[in-house]
Copies of this chain bind each other. A is one copy, B any other.
Amino acid sequence: MVVRAAVAGASGYAGGELLRLLLAHPEVEIGVLTGHSNAGQALGPLQPHLRPLADRVLEPTTAGALAGHDVVFLALPHGQSAAVAEQLGAEVLVVDMGADFRLRDAGDWEAFYGSPHAGTWPYGLPELPGGRAALAGARRIAVPGCYPTAVSLALFPAYAAGLAEPEAVIVAASGTSGAGKAAKPHLLGSEVMGSMSPYGVGGGHRHTPEIVQNLSAAAGEPVTVSFTPTLAPMPRGILATCSARARPGVSAESLRAVYGKAFANEPFVDLLPEGQWPATAAVYGSNAVQIQVAHDEAAGRIVVICAIDNLAKGTAGGALQSMNIALGLPEDTGLTTIGVAP
């Protein structure tokens, strides 16, 4: 099979990571690349690590430029995907790496994004219950947010198995690439190196309703979520610390059994051996998910730690994994569980 793929938004971090992975995908041929403010420029200086594509020139992001491909990946600012997608044929696989089609509740979308809701597409997290079935043969895919990827994988088994009370508390640290490539003073190297800081505290982060949606679906009842994201002095990686009060009867053994079963056949999720804890460095550049669980008896809580690479499994790798499923390719084609460390 030769899959011809276009990438809209090729100069950003999500687009760059996708291209890095596509270059290693044996079935994909990279087609048109588009940009907005960088249209007309060569990719070389914009993505200096992607030397084989250095001479590619970015076209403006239009449906016309993106037409004629088997797959179109959209790495656009929030709210811009719908206008492009509706002009692409129904037979084209459109994979949206933005937020536009993730939420099922239009009110949530409007409250957090302040614009009309564009709709809901099949959700690109195959590891969730029913996740693969929703993606098989799909021609529209909404790639999850990076935080929701980590948090949902960390907590859905506990909720699906009824081990946890429906009040989750999540504190997650993200590398700076999660904030994108737009030059903002607080993202300067001088500011972020040596510093940890929170943002969107108290429920304001746009990934909150997506996390609520996923955990509530797993639990079969509404789950409230206290979510605090923090910015960590590293380029990549998410470490999510997730906890909830344990329901009566939960033990370390039952907890571990549930998680072992949930991920037994997952190619990218690694429930670590007891005593070993996830680290973002171990999944750097890979599609791997490292998870470890603990039962804090004194506090009466389940604690689940999850590490992913926010750009890989959290964005571009997840997008590619879902593409593989939608197209009937082996799910791990072009993807690795092996991180780049140290």
Within A231-257, which residues are at the interface with B (CB < 8 Å)? Answer: 232-237, 239, 241, 243, 245
A198 to B54, CA, bound (A): 20
- Is B195 touching A280 in the complex (CB atoms < 8 A)? yes
Q: Of all chain B residues, which has the CB nearest A171?
A: B171
Q: Would you list 24 pairs from A and B whose C-beta atoms are within 8 A, ordered by A residue?
A: A13-B190, A20-B338, A44-B273, A48-B279, A48-B290, A49-B339, A51-B270, A54-B273, A169-B301, A173-B196, A179-B190, A187-B190, A190-B342, A193-B234, A194-B194, A194-B237, A195-B234, A195-B237, A196-B237, A197-B279, A225-B298, A226-B243, A226-B299, A232-B233
- Is A235 touching B299 in the complex (CB atoms < 8 A)? no
Neighbouring B residues of A237 by C-beta, 8 Å? 194-196
A1 interface contact, C-beta 8 A: no
- Is A338 touching B190 in the complex (CB atoms < 8 A)? no
A288 interface contact, C-beta 8 A: yes
- Identify which of A85-93, A126-134, A199-207, A323-331 touches chain B: A199-207
What is the copy number of this chain in the assembly?
Answer: 4
- Is B202 touching A24 in the complex (CB atoms < 8 A)? no
Select which of B44, B195, B273, B307 is within 8 A of A279 by beta carbon.
B195
Report A178 CB to chain B, min CB distance, Å.
Answer: 9
- Is B232 touching A283 in the complex (CB atoms < 8 A)? no
Neighbouring B residues of A294 by C-beta, 8 Å? 201-202
- Is B282 touching A48 in the complex (CB atoms < 8 A)? yes
A69 interface contact, C-beta 8 A: no
A285 interface contact, C-beta 8 A: yes
Output the residue of A208, A226, A300, A301 with the most chain B CB within 10 A.
A226
- Chain A, 316-342, contact with B by CB distance < 8 Å: what is the 0/1 string? 000000000000000000001111111
Q: A194-B194, A202-B296, A228-B243 are in contact. List 14 more A-B contacts (CB 8 A).
A: A13-B190, A51-B288, A169-B169, A173-B173, A176-B190, A177-B342, A187-B188, A187-B189, A189-B235, A191-B342, A193-B235, A195-B280, A197-B278, A233-B234
